[in-house]
Structure 1
Amino acid sequence: MTPDVDVQTLRLLVSVAERGSLGAAARELGMTQPAASARVRAFEARWRVSVLERSPRGSRLTEDGEAVVSWARTLLHELETVRSSLLALGEERRTGVAVAASLTIADLILPRWLAELRARRPQVSPRLHVVNSDTVAAMVRDGDVDLGFIESARTPPDLAARVVGHDSLALVVAPGHPWARRRTPLTLEELQAATYVVREPGSGTRSTFEAALRRQPDVVLEASSTSALLGAAAAGVGPAVVSRRAVAGDVERGRLAVVPTELDLRRPLTAIWDRRRRLRDAAADLVLIAAEASREA
């Protein structure tokens, strides 16, 4: 097999061209002049070319040497580009973490987790994508993010997962709605007969409600925003199903009322990642922080 080109000797020859002498080039690269001379002789013998003319007045590049230096400059520039890119990539892998989270988690829970991650790892710069649970899983599969958080009762079987907490949904209506004064839980049959203001398909809230209702709900309004759902419910468009965390303030102010039901509307909060890829340190820390916060709650 043909040996690779000696990059250090190429650096030496480029330095000779820039400094005007082998001695000056050797000093720039931290070599002794005898060592530099030996390198050049070995290079010439290996490639059967003469690159330097030596004389009592010093050394200068031959015509072949000038050609080698021209090629070397191009190669060394590309090597520097690769080196810089690798350093930048390594720094990004060390300090960056891309996270996708479903709406409820991103709005109401994840900010506290990210604040704790920042306290533990000040050098980390997270990037957050707020999408529904199905899209979170797709982004994890595609490698667009390192880590995802979903609030769906169904965990994608092809992804690694860890439950880091729990949440529950609430059925809410405007104060003037007939259900607002309900004291006994609504039955499954009553709930199946109603129409709702709900999140879009693919959201964890929607899938949890559908599983509890045992069918797809009749929808009067579909929205991808929790604030839009709450606004529609408060305006009397219809009952809405949202996280209890998200509606607590509106219930306290009397803008909405929680309706008791027979449904089990609890759901896990789950961290998901690609089992084929090792979690970055920052992402692994974020999973631990989320689990710790749940135990302390």
Structure 2
Amino acid sequence: MTPDVDMETLRLLVDLAELNSLSAAAQARGISQPAASARLRSFEARWRVTVADRSPRGTALTTDGLAIVSWARTVLHEVDLMRAALTALSDERHAELEVAASLTIAEFILPRWLGELRSRSVVVRPRLHVVNSEKVAELVRSRTVDVGFIESAAVPRDLAHRLVGSDQLAVVVDPRHPWARRSTPVPHEALRNEAWVLRETGSGTRSTFERALRFEPHLAMEADSTTALIGAARAGVGPAVVSRRAVASELETGRLVEVTTDLDLWRPLTAIWLMERRLPDSVDALLRIARAGTTRRPST
């Protein structure tokens, strides 16, 4: 079997031709002069050709050695071009960041995280899939995305996960709703009898509310859009349950009123990914940013 050409020896020969000194060529290659001499002897033995003449005055290339250097320059040029192309291709792939996030995270939190990621000179081109928490997990399992962010208290057991923060839901009503004038928490029985404006089944908002309520609520309207829920609440369709972040401006202007209840409406914000999948550096950096900059639930 014909042996492979040793690229490092070819680079040593090119350096020897350009520097006219084996010592200088060895230094350029980051090896000792004895190691460089041994490398040349091994090359000569392998290919049964003499590439250099040794004398007290130094080491000089033979006619065969000069011919090999001429060929080596062409080969090494192509190798270097290929290396640069592979590096560029790798960088291009690593710049792509597939993320899935449930609605509140996607609309109110994730853009800030991605902005911070870019400000740290991490080159990414994120592609964001906005779906509910249940579908985020499906996209992670199918390897469609590198990482997902969910708002549900129930974390899929088959996926790796990391808590990155917390979010609080709010029960909001139109100012004309009877609950808007209450100064005490709405009784649980009244909550049970009300018809609600809620997100669809599978969303983190819906599961958090049902877990806190401890029974299946009556529905006045169901939607997969937070904007639609807010609009329905403002129109008097019924009380809505949404992230407090999503209704901050409506609460400040009085277009909606937050209702006091005894329900625990805090929910975790969790990153999920495949257990066997190594996280890209960009995802690892994104998770560190998320952990550092997200609201934490107050300790009780």
Q: TM-score, normalised by structure 2?
A: 0.70
The match for 1:247 is 247
Residue 290 (structure 1) aligned with residue 290 (structure 2): yes
Other structure's SS at 1:139 match: helix
Tell me which residue corresponds to 1:196. 196
| Matched residue type, 1:123 | V
SS in structure 1 at match of 2:286 = helix
Structure 2 unaligned segments of length 5 or more: list them: 8-64, 72-81
Aligned in 2, Cα 1:193/1:93: closer, same or farther, shift over 3 Å?
Answer: same
Aligned AA (2:259): V
From the superposition, tell whether residues 285 and 184 of structure 1 become closer, same or farther in structure 2 (CA, over 3 Å): same
DSSP 3-state at the match of 2:263: coil
Amino acid at match of 1:293: G
Structure 1, unmatched stretches of 5+, are: 9-30, 38-81
CA contact (8 A) 1:150 1:204 kept: yes
Task: Give, in angstroms, the shift of residue 94 of structure 1.
Answer: 2.3
- State the distance in 2 between where 1:117 and 1:214 align: 39
Structure 1 residue 275: deviation in Å?
A: 1.1
Deviation at 1:294, TM superposition (A): 2.5
Task: State the aligned residue count.
Answer: 233
Q: Decide whether the 8 Å contact of 2:167 with 2:295 is kept in 1.
A: no
Q: Does residue 1:278 correspond to 2:278, yes or no?
A: yes
Shift in alpha-carbon separation, 1:248–1:239, aligned structure 2, 3 A: same
TM-score of the aligned structures, taking structure 1 as reference length: 0.71
- SS state of the match for residue 109, structure 1? helix
Q: Which residue matches 1:257? A: 257
Q: Is the 8 A contact 1:151 1:268 kept in 2?
A: yes
Does the 8 Å contact 2:197/2:233 carry over to 1? yes
CA distance, structure 2, for counterparts of residue 211 and residue 177 of structure 1:
25
Q: Which residue of 1 aligns with 2:217?
A: 217
Alignment of 1:78-89 (within 5 A): 89=89
Two-structure CA RMSD over aligned residues (Å): 2.9
Structure 1 residue 84: Cα displacement: 9.7
- The amino acid of 1:107's aligned partner reads E
CA distance in 2, matches of 1:124, 1:105: 19
Contact 2:166–2:295 under 8 Å retained in 1: no
Deviation at 1:171, TM superposition (A): 0.5
Paired AA for residue 117 in structure 1: L
In structure 2, distance between residues paired with 1:187 and 1:32: 94
For residue 86 of structure 1, report the CA deviation from its aligned partner: 5.6
Equivalence for 1:140: 140
Q: Deviations over 1:152-207 (max 9, x none)?
A: 11111111111111111000010001111111111222211111111111111011
| Correspondence 1:174 to 2:174 | yes
For residues 229 and 295 of structure 1, the distance between their equivalents in structure 2, rounded to whole angstroms, comes to 23
Mark the CA change 1:155 to 1:244 in structure 2 (over 3 Å): closer, same or farther.
same
Q: Deviations over 1:215-243 (max 9, x none)?
A: 22111111111111000000001110000
Cα distance in 2 for partners of 1:157, 1:84 equals 42
Query: Is contact 2:165–2:296 with CA below 8 Å preserved after alignment?
Result: no
